[in-house]
Every structure is written in C-alpha cells, then in structure tokens.
Chain A
Amino acid sequence: MTDASTVSSTPDVPTTTAKPHKQPKRKNGYKKDEIEAAVYFIVPSLIGFTLFFLFPAVRGLFMSFTDWDLLTEPEFIGVANYRRLFQDRFFWNSLRVTVMYVLYNIPIQTVIGLAIAVLMNRVKNSTALRGVILLPWFIPNVVVGLLWLMLLNPLVGPINLMLTGLGLDRVQFLMLPQTALPSIAGINIWRHMGYVALLFFAGLQTIPNNLYEASRIDGASPFQAFWRITLPLLRPVMTFVVVTSVIGSFQIFDTVAVTTEGGPMRSTEVMIWFIFDHAFRRFNMGYGAAATVVLFLILVVFTFAYMKITRGGESDLG
C-alpha cells in the first residue's frame, strides 16, 4: 500500500508526544488501551444486536406461547398455539406448498447454475459476462415478480405469444392451481441461477488443472472427468449452495405477494405467506410466532441433516 509514507508524515495524527507508547498496563493479559478502544467499537453494534436480534429472537419464542392481538395484554396459553397449528389444515397446506416449491426450485436451479459455471469455465474469463449473469440477483424480488407477471400474462406476455407462435395453446401460468407454483419457482430460478453459477464458477477455479490432464492421459472422457473429478471436488461449494438456497427458498414471500397472493385456491400459500397473513392481517401475533418457530426448527434440522449426510463441511482437496 502506498499510504505508508503519507501516514507517518501526516501532521494531524494526534501524537501529542512523538514518543512511542509506554508498555501499557496489563490487566489479566489484556492491554488497557485495547479494551478501551474495543468498548467504543463494539458498543454500538452490541446495542443493535441486543435490541433487534437477540431480544426479538427470545421474545418471539415467548410470544409463541401467548395469545396476543397487539391491542390487549398478551395472555399466556402454553402450547395451545402449537396444538392449534398441528390441527390447522391450512398450516399443513402451507408446509406442503413450501416443500413442493423447494423441490421445484432447488434441483433445477442447481443444475442450471452448475451448467452455466462449467460453460463459463470454458470461455474467456470476463467480468462483463459475470456481471450480466448476476444482474437479476441485484433486482428487487418485487420487481422481478411484477416483470414476470407481465411476461407470463396470457394476453400481452411474450412467453405466451411465443407458445402460440409455435402452435401451442396459451397457458395461464400464474392463474391455474397446477401451474402457479412451478411458475413462481421458475421466476426465482431465473433470478438466482446467475448467482449460483458464480459460486460454482469460483469453486471450479480451485480445482487444479493437472487433475484433468492426468485423467485425459488415463483415457477418461470429459464426461467421466466431470462426474469423477469436478463434482466430488465441488462438494463444499455444493453444500454451501444447496444449504443457503434451500434456506432462502423456504422463506419465499415477495414473489408470491406480488403475483398470486397465495392463490389460486391456496396453491401458492407458502409458509411465510401463512405467517404474514396471521400475524399482520389478522393480528394473531402469538399464532404467527408459533408458525415461525416451526419454520425455524425445520431449517435447523435440514441444515444439520444435510451436513451430516454429505459430509458437506469437508473438502477432498486437502
């Protein structure tokens, strides 16, 4: 860094005495001036963390055992919310819809992302290309949802015009219970495939080229090399991609909120929509909080199970 010379000669560095620091007092092995500086540095973030992350996480759990409409005092009702939740067929529906959504979304998104990454690894490395691929990921979900609402519209949407141009029938993508959820999955695949591709691309860059050379000398086809070298060595990246995108997919909300609003016939009523509906439209805060706790537990169990099964935290590259 070029700053070195400027820094030492900067006159306004408040060195009242140009003398070096005296060895500061040690208190249990800590230096006094470090502790002092750390207090200034940490306290603002600690206030934010305590008020808006730690406290609400605990409070959310507490709220799930209460009946509360925001207007009257919360009433402690034990596990009644959970009991009600497990008897609520619309909660089960939202769980089923969310799992279906994840199943539509993740495999296709992962395969497309990987395919794009392999392709990018073959062409000239270009920041511009990577930028283009990443662009949809930067755009608000709400915008992406509205954009595809138009693109998939039966009357004016170019997707349907292409279908009719090919002699096929129009599809009312977001208006039919059978197609609405897969359509929303498709929209989010479009938004995320570039991001996933860049993660895989970075993973591909870490695989030493000589492994491929050795496999070619041994007579392996590129196809075999992909299955035997690329995929196994991508496992840590694969774990990161799958775990984070499944966690993200379970929280799908924005796209649903601006396209189908849970419909038609509850076919896109995902878990966060269910929570939003109960907590913020009917003001059953306790019931919404209980559903949130269940969602959170599902994500924790999934993450640990996946890590355990795939040994996802370990790399074979050593």
Chain B
Amino acid sequence: MSEPHASGKGIRTNTHPPAQDEKGARTLSAERWRRRVLAAAGVAVIVAVTLGPFYWMLRTAFTFPPEIFRNPRSILPPQWTLGNFMRVLGLVSPAEAVALGGTGQALGFALSLRNSLIVTASITISQVFFSACAAYAFARLRFPFRDSLFSIYVAALMIPLIVTVIPNFAFIQELGWLNTFRGIVAPFFLMTPLAVFFMRQFFVSINKELEESAYLDGAGRLTTAFRIVFPMSTPALMTCAIIVATTTWNEYLWMLIVGRDRAVRVLTVALGIFRQQTPQGAPDWGGLMAGTMLATVPIALVFLLLGKHVVNSIGHTGFR
C-alpha cells in the first residue's frame, strides 16, 4: 500500500507520442484512427453496461405495475406513475395502494429512510472525528507503546467483519440494546481500524512546519490539532467521511441481526424484508425498484457532489 497523497492531481496519461516516421505516417495515422475508434467504442460499451441497469431501475420504478408485465420491452415507462414511490413511502392507504397496482402490504420506507440517515450521519460524524484524533496521535505525538498499539490496529484491519459479528451481537444483546439505535451504531461509533489507518497515513504525509511553528508560538497540542491540522486536512477527512458513510449506508448483515424492528429498521433491511414478503410468482417490481431508488439516490448524490475526492484517492491508498 502506498502513501496517500494530499491531492490526487498530477495524474498523467500515457498518450502515444506523435508519429515521427515520415514514410510510415499515413499507415500510422490510419492505425491510430482505428485504435481511437476502438477505444471510444470500448468506453461506450463500458458506460452502457454500467449505467444501463440503473436506467432500467428508474424506468421500472416509474412504471404502473401491471404494465411492467404487459409491456416489458418498452424502453420508456409504458405508463408513467409516481404511485410506486407513494406506496413505498407509505403515503397512501392499503386500498389506494392496490389501486396503484401494488399489494396491500404496508411499506414504511419513509421511516427506514429516516433511520438510515440517522444511523449513517451519527456513525460517520463520530467515527471520523474519533478516528482522526487517534490517527493524529499515532502520526505526530510520541507516547509509550505507540508503535505496538498501532501495529495491533493494523493487524485488526485484516480481520473480516464476520469474525466480530457473532460476539458483538451477543454483547449488544447482553446490554439490552437489540433493536435500538445505540445497538446499531455502537461497534462503529468510536473507530474502525480502517479509518484510523487511512487518516494516520495522511497525517504522516503532510508537512510538519506549520504545526511546529504554532507550537512554538505557544499553542497547546490539542489547539494545534483542532485549529490547524484538522482544518487543513479537510479533503482527506471528507474522503474518509464519504467512505465511512457509504460503508454504513450499504451495511446489511449487522443491521439485519441487530435492527429488525420497524422503528429502527434501515433501508437495506427494509428492502430485504420487502423482497421476502413480495409474492414469489409475480413480485412487486415497481415497489421494489422504487425502494431501491430510495436507497440509491442519497448515496449517488453524495457521490456526484463529493465523489471526486474518492475517485482520485483510490489507487493512492488502496482504500476499499
């Protein structure tokens, strides 16, 4: 794993040097054109394969459910409707839901959307904050057992989540925290080894001079960290926050075993339960796709607005 860079800029592409051979110039440029067209076609295929499924999600979510079966080949929604979203958000009565082409099933996705936002926001803010604090201490402060403690954290990076799931579930159950927000967020609230590791690698890579001059000016260690180092590390903290938020938003297994109750159920769990309850022969595709869109749009928005940091940091850090 390489050291992260403060910015992802300065990436250069290996463009082919211009053909200098006079004799071969014509064939070479024909060859280059052929390659360019092939490359463009390849990119088009990749983009289509990546975005096509999302388009079909959108198209199905906006289609009046009976038309999904009647008219599966239509590229545009055969009959537009917002009904799937209204049903999924629980804005209509069961009778109206049936009229909109759904089953009478009660779908409280609005509540789950709220729960997902609560869980994701609280874990992200506190985990990034406390992990950054620990990371700063590992990167800059000298204290006893620092290096051995850090290598224990790094070793814990290798431990898959499943190893801790069963004992953590037992622990949360013993605390009486099953089906509470406390129980859902507890294991990720104060740190994950990955967040500490990522921020530590970043702090190691930035220049010490500013901190040292602030320190010599009489600022204490805590002041230096909070007033100088963290503010100038905003891009790295943002990248870390996006990754933590995405991981939390996407988590399924932990949320499923600890937070099945409707009151604390997050979107991924609500979707899993919806899928189990929908009739096997003729699933409620309209409702399912509207639900998946609810789970996709917030994270896609974050990605569109702030994803540049993440896109550029992948490869520099090997962040997964």
Contacts and interface: CB of A to CB of B under 8 A. Distances in A.
Interface of A: 1, 3-4, 7-8, 10, 13-15, 17-21, 28-31, 33-42, 44-49, 51-57, 59-60, 63, 70, 116, 119-125, 127, 129-136, 138-143, 146-151, 153, 155-158, 161, 190, 194-195, 198-199, 201-205, 207, 209, 212-213, 240, 244, 247-248, 250-251, 253-254, 257-258, 272, 275-276, 279-280, 285, 288-289, 292-293, 295-296, 299-300, 303
B53 A292 contact: no
B210 A7 contact: yes
Interface string B233-276: 00000000000001001101100110000000001100110010
Contacts of B163: 56-57, 60, 292-293, 296
Interface of B: 1, 11-14, 17, 35, 39-40, 42-43, 46-47, 49-51, 53-54, 56-57, 60, 68-69, 72-73, 130-131, 133-134, 136-138, 141-144, 146, 149, 152-153, 156, 158-171, 173, 186-191, 193, 196, 210, 213-223, 225, 227-228, 231-232, 246, 249-250, 252-253, 256-257, 267-268, 271-272, 275, 283, 285, 288-289, 291-292, 295-296, 299-300, 303-304, 307-308, 310-312, 314-316, 318, 320
Contacts of B17: 213
B299 A49 contact: no
A65 B295 CA distance: 40
A146 B275 contact: yes
The 7 closest A-B pairs by CB, nearest first: A202-B315, A48-B190, A56-B167, A37-B221, A45-B134, A41-B137, A140-B250
**Interface residue SS majority, chain B:** helix
A63 B130 CA distance: 30
B227 A7 contact: yes
A143 B227 contact: no
Given A15-B217, A63-B166, 6 more contacts: A7-B214, A34-B221, A122-B14, A134-B307, A143-B295, A205-B315
A285 B170 contact: yes
B160 A135 contact: no
A60 B164 contact: yes
B219 A15 contact: yes
Nearest to A12: B227
A30 B145 CA distance: 11
16 contacts: A13-B214, A15-B218, A18-B217, A30-B143, A34-B143, A38-B137, A70-B170, A120-B43, A130-B311, A135-B303, A143-B295, A146-B289, A156-B60, A190-B50, A205-B14, A292-B165
A199 B169 contact: no
A13 B227 contact: yes
A190 B216 contact: no
B315 A198 contact: yes
B50 to A, nearest CB: 6
A48 B189 contact: yes
A157 B72 CA distance: 7
A6 to B, nearest CB: 10
A56 B142 contact: no
Contact of B190 (A40, A45, A147): A45
A248 B144 CA distance: 35
Contact of A20 (B131, B218, B222, B288): B218
B221 A139 contact: no
Contacts of B220: 14, 33, 37
A119 B272 contact: no
B57 A147 contact: yes
A92 B281 CA distance: 32
Contact of B268 (A55, A129, A133, A142): A142
Contacts of B189: 48
B296 A33 contact: no
A203 B49 CA distance: 24
A52 B163 CA distance: 11
Given A140-B250, A190-B49, A209-B14, A13 B210 contact: no
A142 B163 CA distance: 21
Contacts of A156: 60, 68-69, 72, 285
Contact of B13 (A121, A198, A257): A121
